[in-house]
C-alpha cells in the first residue's frame, strides 16, 4: 500500500512540474501585430501561438475551397479547430489588412 501511495505522490509532483514548465514557457511569448487569415501564407500562419502544421494547412485548404473568411468565428468550420483555440487566437487575427504579426522577445 505504501508503494502505491508513494508512486501516486511522485506522479502528482511530476505532473505539476511539467505543467509549470509548459505554462511558464507560454507566458514568456509575447506577440505584436495581427495576421490576416484571408491572405496569410502557410509560413505566416505558423507564427500564430500554438499553430500546428496541419491546422495551418487546413486554413489554406478551407480558403481555397470556400473563399475568404467572413468572420473569425468561421474558423470553427476548419477541420481541427475548436472554440477555445479560436478565442486564444482572436487577439492576433483579422480579416483585413496587412500581416504584421511578430514574436516580441
Q: Residue 44, Cα to own-chain centre: how many angstroms?
A: 13
**Domain segments of the chain: what residues?**
30-104
Model pTM above 0.85: no
CA–CA gap between residue 40 and residue 55 (Å, rounded): 13
- pLDDT, residue 11, reads 58
3-class SS of residue 36: strand
pLDDT tens digit sequence for 55-84: 999 999 999 999 999 999 999 999 999 999
CATH superfamily assigned to domain 30-104:
Photosystem II 12 kDa extrinsic protein (1.10.150.320)
pLDDT tens digit sequence for 33-60: 999 999 999 999 999 999 999 999 999 9
Alpha-helical segments (H) within the chain: 2-28, 42-45, 53-66, 83-89
Amino acid at each position: 500500500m505504501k508503494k502505491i501511495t508513494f508512486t501516486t505522490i511522485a506522479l502528482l509532483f511530476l505532473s505539476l512540474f511539467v505543467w509549470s514548465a509548459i505554462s511558464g514557457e507560454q507566458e514568456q511569448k509575447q506577440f505584436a501585430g495581427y495576421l490576416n487569415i484571408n491572405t496569410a501564407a502557410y509560413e505566416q500562419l505558423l507564427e500564430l501561438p500554438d499553430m500546428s502544421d496541419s491546422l495551418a494547412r487546413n486554413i489554406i485548404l478551407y480558403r481555397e475551397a470556400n473563399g475568404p473568411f467572413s468572420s473569425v468565428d468561421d474558423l470553427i468550420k476548419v477541420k481541427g479547430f475548436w472554440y477555445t483555440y479560436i478565442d486564444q487566437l482572436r487577439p492576433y487575427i483579422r480579416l483585413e489588412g496587412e500581416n504584421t504579426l511578430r514574436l516580441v522577445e
